[in-house]
A and B are shown apart, each in its own frame.
Chain A
Amino acid sequence: MIAESGHYALVLALALALIQSIVPIVGARWRDAALMNVARSTALAQLLFVAASFAALVTLHVTSDFSVANVYENSHSLKPLLYKITGVWGNHEGSMLLWVSILALFGGLVAAFGNNLPLSLRAHVLAVQAWVASAFYLFILITSNPFLRIANPPIEGRDLNPVLQDIGLAVHPPMLYLGYVGFSISFSFAVAALLEGRIDAAWARWVRPWTLMAWIFLTLGIAMGSYWAYYELGWGGWWFWDPVENASLMPWLAGTALLHSALVMEKRNALKVWTVLLSILTFSLSLLGTFLVRSGVLTSVHAFATDPTRGVFILLILFVFIGGSLSLYAWRAPALKQGGLFAPISREGALVLNNLLLTTACATVFIGTLYPLALEVLTGEKISVGAPFFNFTFAPLFVPLLLAVPFGPLLAWKRGDLLGAAQRLMVAGIAALVAIALVFAWTYGGATLAPLAIGLAAFVIMGALCDLAERIALFRIPLSLSLRRARGLPRATWGTAFAHAGLGTALIGIVCETTWNSEYIGSMKPDDVARVAGYELRLDGLNPRQGPNFREMVAQFTVTRDGQTVSVMTPSKRNFTTRGASTTEAALLTRGASQLYISLGDASADGTIAVRIYHKPLVLMIWWGPVLMAFGGLLSLSDRRLRVGAPKPAKATARALQAAE
């Protein structure tokens, strides 16, 4: 009964989305306020029904109703409650339902909080949202219905893929989807602007908070996924340049560019056409990511069971939306008026450079990800492009970007003073040189590039601080006055500083982890001692343990340093009986920002066990960086300007609208 109601609610949501796709557009054509307002109520009702449908699937999973195929295939009655809930989106059908639920959530948010939008713009935006939603409802209902029943219900389920039975599944996919799907809002705004043939600084002001929100979630989602892979897969790697990871990195790069170009548009009314294109591209890349992951063209932990009809269907959606929006862009964009002039050396110029480098980096990732697929389709030749390609193309583009980052906020709008900015960055430059010298001296004879990279990171972090210091006139006026200025600074300024500093922080982590990682691999028997990076790890013994739906072999290590016991680490090897699969649960010991990492291999008959121990210096900074970036984004999002500033330009546009009529 619950399954049928969930299914029915989804069909109703589709019907509402279809109404929402057409009626508001007709209303906007006829300038009929009542018809345009239909968008608002249908968007909210749609959210209600999708939420009901999603709740139905969650209930089915929690109650372990194995007469539903989706539950049977991905659940088990002994599975802990948390994994019963997260297992809802740990499979293809459920994760697509989560995707549309989040899409409906964003549509509902625009409907509920978009009261200061011009009526016709809101109608257009919600209609475009409904186009996307309809396509995905159809996709779910036709090819991936999660509510299908099995004729002869089995008594026990097949359990969830053990790798996914982790707290990471509770956080990573929803976060990532909030990011991916959040970009649908800027896409809808862009298409709406093209349909209306009008775009201005106010438009950018409405789009920016939505983009920022999506970007924050995507940043955290990617970081979370990376940390999850790091501790769960037992390899100690945190980024594999796997096509699925690239699929999330591409929208992030484009979205970061979009955030910056929307800033130019909001402040200076320039780069309009480019911003609209970026909005379209960012969401297109999100759709492409969905396609890559869900169509089964790639095999990875993310590609659950796949089926070719699904791939074709998503490809069709991809063609319609990307092709359609780009055609619309080609047709209508020339009609958008160009605004604000600026010199090449200016804040705008710096942001253009940022966009140029980010989109080019995005393009190289795009080529590296799709070229092998295209080659295979066209010639049948199989190649695989791996990490060396991306390291070689990505790094040279990011180095100038990172060098330029501290300069951007110090340049004035319209016409900047590069020399002045360089003078104000003197402290950061000195800090960078000191960092290089120190790291070089400390690791003398080691890697040569690493100290330079650390110096670059120091430059980025100190540059962000210099910008703040400059704004509050630190050390030039009395400290109390500086502090008062600091309180008065717009939160967006603090946000920028945090986000940029986060970039440097992540870079330090990446460089340290890849360069000074130490490793021990060997087979150990109880009372053996392994020495890694000054730590001594003694294997105390191996103990079997019974978990709720698995058996595990737990190895206990006592970690000592300079004769003093630091901690006990217990990595384990789990065996999931239902699927006959085993997973490696690594043990992590955090010391400051560094970590010790133990993962187990196979135990052999003579009582020894294969052990891999890593010491990863400053590895946590890799994820602190994105967290700082997201925190910066959050500060920026809470800026007064974005909360209360919006209505004013709205009125201006409303007048323009009346004038146009």
Chain B
Amino acid sequence: MTRKQRRLTLIGCALAVLAIAAGLVLSALRDSIVFFSTPSMVAEKHLGPGKRFRLGGLVEQGSLKRGDNLAVTFTVGDGGATLPVAYKGILPDLFREGQGVIAEGALDGSGVFRADTVLAKHDETYMPKDVADALKKQGHWKDDYGAKPGNMPSASAAPTQGAMR
């Protein structure tokens, strides 16, 4: 084999692998992307049952109901619309009414969002960014939702509050 042929073999192999990878990426992107929606967006877009997406919003006050054997239902709202959610399992540590939440799953025939995952949050002041953005866009953002613990002004202004908590 000449140097040229060897190089061509190499480039041919490389292109083949890249083509396969590109094909995989494109088909995976078509199938498995999970879209993010808030309840108002669900109402607007008329999402049909069975289509997977991520639902984000605030857990409505007083909506959390625990059923038998770890079945829970709650309502997620974004100030505009609300959507009932059903989930079976253990809720994340920081799941609270009135706080932001992200659930993954699909709508069933009766318009209930069947979640198979409810995402854990890691901090009591942490608001999922997607939720915060969506709420801001719809004008339902309150400044204390995502008060960042690390911001200098708030830290120096409210040290006693922090100490008392």
Contact = CB atoms under 8 A, between A and B. Distances in A.
A350 to B, nearest CB: 12
A19 interface: no
B34 interface: yes
Contacts of B152: 69, 148
A306 interface: yes
B161 to A, nearest CB: 9
Given A382-B130, A389-B28, A392-B32, A156 B163 contact: yes
Contacts of A307: 148, 150-151
Nearest to B164: A156
Contacts of B3: 341
A73 B149 contact: yes
Given A69-B155, A154-B162, A522-B69, A393 B89 contact: no
A383 B36 contact: yes
B129 to A, nearest CB: 4
B70 A601 contact: yes
Contacts of A344: 1, 6, 9-10, 13
B128 interface: yes
A232 B28 CA distance: 31
A500 interface: no
Contact of B124 (A300, A361, A581): A581
Contacts of B159: 72, 150, 152-154
A523 B66 CA distance: 11
B55 to A, nearest CB: 12
B141 interface: no
B90 A392 contact: no
Interface string B137-165: 00000000000111110011001101101
B32 A306 contact: no
Interface in B24-55: 24-25, 27-29, 31-36, 54
Nearest to A152: B159
Interface string B98-133: 000000000000000000000010111010111001
B24 A393 contact: yes
Contacts of A584: 93
B81 interface: no
A158 B120 CA distance: 22
A385 B34 contact: yes
A27 to B, nearest CB: 39
Interface stretch (A261-269, A351-359, A478-486): A351-359
Given A521-B70, A522-B70, A73 B25 contact: no
A582 B121 CA distance: 11
Contacts of A580: 124, 165
A343 interface: yes
B50 to A, nearest CB: 16
Interface in A573-613: 573, 578-584, 599-602, 604, 610, 612
A554 to B, nearest CB: 16
B122 A161 contact: yes
Interface string A61-88: 0000000010011000000000000000
A235 B120 contact: yes
Interface string A616-627: 000000000000
Nearest to A155: B163
B163 A367 contact: no
Contacts of B6: 341-344
A357 B17 contact: yes
B156 A69 contact: yes
B150 A360 contact: no
Contacts of B128: 299
B119 to A, nearest CB: 10
Nearest to B163: A156
Given A156-B163, A393-B24, A582 B93 contact: yes
A521 B89 contact: yes
A161 B94 CA distance: 13
A304 B36 contact: no
B150 A601 contact: no
Nearest to A301: B122
Contacts of A157: 162
Central interface residue in B33, B89, B120, by most chain A CB within 10 Å: B33
A304 B13 CA distance: 43
A176 B105 CA distance: 33
B121 to A, nearest CB: 9
Given A299-B128, A304-B150, A344-B9, 20 more contacts: A91-B150, A155-B163, A234-B90, A300-B122, A301-B122, A306-B148, A307-B151, A341-B3, A342-B6, A356-B17, A360-B17, A361-B21, A367-B25, A368-B25, A382-B35, A522-B70, A581-B123, A582-B94, A601-B70, A602-B90
16 contacts: A154-B159, A157-B162, A158-B149, A301-B122, A344-B9, A360-B21, A382-B133, A384-B54, A385-B34, A388-B31, A396-B20, A397-B24, A521-B88, A581-B94, A584-B93, A599-B90
Query: 5 shortest A-B CB distances, which residue pairs?
Result: A305-B150, A154-B159, A601-B90, A388-B32, A382-B36
